[in-house]
A and B are shown apart, each in its own frame.
Chain A
Amino acid sequence: MSLAAVDVFDGSAPWRLSERVSLRDESFGALAYHHGTRRLVFLKSRELVDLVRSLDAFESADVAVASMISPALRAHYVTALSSLAASEIICEG
């Protein structure tokens, strides 16, 4: 994980899928395309895709992770979210 990824992600804040992103389901998870940065990003599991799609229903990313992901895997998914935040696939608010 890069330093930038650590800096940008605050799990106690509310997060959501950026409106400039198109998210398309694939057999391995999903492909996300950011229309602003023109970057293609892979979401490599079904659970991550569901988590990202549900973020805006929770008061914070931490609460979303706690509600949807089993305890042993939570740290892994927070890392995944912070890297999605770094590539602007998800945004605060």
Chain B
Amino acid sequence: MKADSLRNRFERGLSSPICLTWELTYACNLACTHCLSSSGRRDPRELSTNEAKALIDEIAAMQIFYINIGGGEPMIRRDFFELIEHAVNQKVGVKFSTNGTRIDREAATRLAGIDYLDIQISIDGADALTNDRVRGAGSYDQARRAMDNLKAAEFGPFKISVVMTRDSIEQLDRFEELAVHYGAQLRLTRLRPSGRGAEVWEQLHPTLSQNRRLYQWLLERPNVLTGDSFFHLSALGSPLEGLNLCGAGRVVCLIDPVGEVYACPFVIHEEFRAGNVRDGGFGTVWTSSELFRSLREPGNPGACASCGSFDACRGGCMAAKFFTGLEMSDPDPECVFGHGETVLAAKRLLIRPTPSPDHSRRIPLVQKTR
């Protein structure tokens, strides 16, 4: 069977996701400007420990290979270790994203003792100045401390995860050096206009020429992980590593802290909500949701139909289009041929969707001085 027909099968959906993303909590001790889930405050309706464990049992029964745990900051949940141990004990791999603030020496030692576990420490700059502009004062040093602790505890090759912004993309070689320094793996992902990212996307998303350079850089480094983030860049030539397709509702999805199921981690919005695990379990949502069924139907290539590269990029990222106010049949806003920019410019006056729900911390009127 040819790779292409496998891709077609993937686009029609699988009996279970390959992996799913589960945001454990909306609570976060940082307030990154581009947060996909607009996190900050804990939602009081968060899944209880027992509900979370039942969900993990169902994930194991459905033979979902691994879960990407995020938030918010997942390590803030008091039952964090209990939950990840419950998953790995059933051979459900766990990959979790953290800002690192809670990885002290003790936590690092405990993490190093868990099998089937992968850790992604997020930074968005190769130095404090660049990083802290996006992630907040002190966050770079805290992330580095977490990396030091993991290295000292001999955790093994953890991942350093970086969102590609107009600034961080200029530091690719320095991120690579940092990864080598820690014996870590570098993981680069795309800045999406989702959550609070909608507010900063215009000023922070890479330029066309930066994206072209990124594509070349990634082509030369197949070992740099991307979570299939940059398949829209595959229109530039040879495909990048990965499945090179939009997996939303087909091979991946997202479960939020209160059990809502969305098509992918980048579309926490009513329009892409498939159901809730509290109503009959996750499996029911995966197989029966109207939204997921429609996503598994062949899409409408729309404006991209006449483009010779449609087969390479498949029109790009659904979330990037939606939150910039584009139609699903429009090109990706970061289309490598600039088609997206043209459409965006024409639609500039349109109102973009407001991210929902918003768990950002309310900014206090009076800031305490130290």
Known contacts: A22-B63, A33-B66, A35-B91. The answer to whether A28 contacts B6 by CB under 8 A is yes
| In the complex, the 5 A-B pairs of residues with the closest C-beta atoms, listed nearest first | A33-B65, A24-B63, A44-B1, A35-B93, A35-B116
Do A38 and B118 touch (CB < 8 A)?
yes
Known contacts: A31-B18, A38-B118, A44-B6. The answer to whether A24 contacts B1 by CB under 8 A is no
Do A40 and B18 touch (CB < 8 A)?
yes
CB of B204 closer than 8 Å to a CB of A: no
* Complex interface: chain A residues within 8 A of B66 (CB): 33, 35, 38
Distance from A36 Cβ to chain B, minimum over Cβ atoms (Å): 9
**Interface residue stretch chosen among B8-16, B47-55, B269-277:** B8-16
Chain B 35-47 near chain A by CB (<8 Å), digits 1 or 0: 0000000000000
- Complex Cα–Cα for A66 and B93 (A): 35
Please give 5 more A-B residue pairs, beta carbons under 8 A apart, in addition to A26-B14, A38-B118, A42-B6: A26-B9, A26-B15, A33-B93, A35-B91, A38-B93
* Complex interface: chain A residues within 8 A of B16 (CB): 24
* Complex interface: chain A residues within 8 A of B1 (CB): 28, 44-45
Question: Chain B: interface secondary structure?
Answer: loop
* Complex interface: chain B residues within 8 A of A44 (CB): 1, 6
- Complex Cα–Cα for A44 and B1 (A): 7
* Complex interface: chain B residues within 8 A of A24 (CB): 16, 63, 65
Distance from A72 Cβ to chain B, minimum over Cβ atoms (Å): 18
- Complex Cα–Cα for A33 and B63 (A): 10
- Complex Cα–Cα for A33 and B116 (A): 12
CB of A12 closer than 8 Å to a CB of B: no
CB of A27 closer than 8 Å to a CB of B: yes
* Complex interface: chain A residues within 8 A of B93 (CB): 33, 35, 38
- Complex Cα–Cα for A28 and B66 (A): 21
> Whose C-beta in chain A lies nearest to the C-beta of B95?
A38
- Complex Cα–Cα for A11 and B14 (A): 33
Known contacts: A22-B65, A35-B91, A44-B1. The answer to whether A27 contacts B6 by CB under 8 A is no
B residues with a Cβ closer than 8 A to A are 1, 6, 9, 14-16, 18, 63, 65-66, 91, 93, 116, 118
Ordered by A's residue number, 17 sampled pairs between the chains whose C-beta atoms are within 8 Å are A24-B16, A24-B65, A26-B9, A26-B14, A26-B15, A27-B9, A28-B1, A33-B18, A33-B65, A33-B66, A35-B66, A38-B93, A38-B118, A40-B65, A42-B6, A44-B6, A45-B1
* Complex interface: chain B residues within 8 A of A35 (CB): 65-66, 91, 93, 116
* Complex interface: chain A residues within 8 A of B63 (CB): 22, 24
- Complex Cα–Cα for A82 and B174 (A): 38
* Complex interface: chain B residues within 8 A of A22 (CB): 63, 65, 91
* Complex interface: chain A residues within 8 A of B15 (CB): 26-27
> Whose C-beta in chain B lies nearest to the C-beta of A33?
B65
* Complex interface: chain A residues within 8 A of B116 (CB): 35
> Whose C-beta in chain B lies nearest to the C-beta of A20?
B116
Distance from B2 Cβ to chain A, minimum over Cβ atoms (Å): 10
Chain A 15-47 near chain B by CB (<8 Å), digits 1 or 0: 000000010101110010101001010101100
Distance from B17 Cβ to chain A, minimum over Cβ atoms (Å): 11
- Complex Cα–Cα for A38 and B66 (A): 9
* Complex interface: chain A residues within 8 A of B14 (CB): 26, 31
* Complex interface: chain A residues within 8 A of B65 (CB): 22, 24, 31, 33, 35, 40
Chain A 66-83 near chain B by CB (<8 Å), digits 1 or 0: 000000000000000000
- Complex Cα–Cα for A45 and B1 (A): 9
- Complex Cα–Cα for A38 and B15 (A): 20
> Whose C-beta in chain A lies nearest to the C-beta of B93?
A35
- Complex Cα–Cα for A35 and B94 (A): 10
- Complex Cα–Cα for A38 and B112 (A): 17
- Complex Cα–Cα for A46 and B328 (A): 36
- Complex Cα–Cα for A42 and B16 (A): 15
Distance from B12 Cβ to chain A, minimum over Cβ atoms (Å): 9
Distance from B131 Cβ to chain A, minimum over Cβ atoms (Å): 26
> Whose C-beta in chain B lies nearest to the C-beta of A27?
B9
* Complex interface: chain A residues within 8 A of B9 (CB): 26-28
- Complex Cα–Cα for A44 and B7 (A): 12
Distance from B226 Cβ to chain A, minimum over Cβ atoms (Å): 13
> Whose C-beta in chain A lies nearest to the C-beta of B2?
A44
Distance from A29 Cβ to chain B, minimum over Cβ atoms (Å): 8
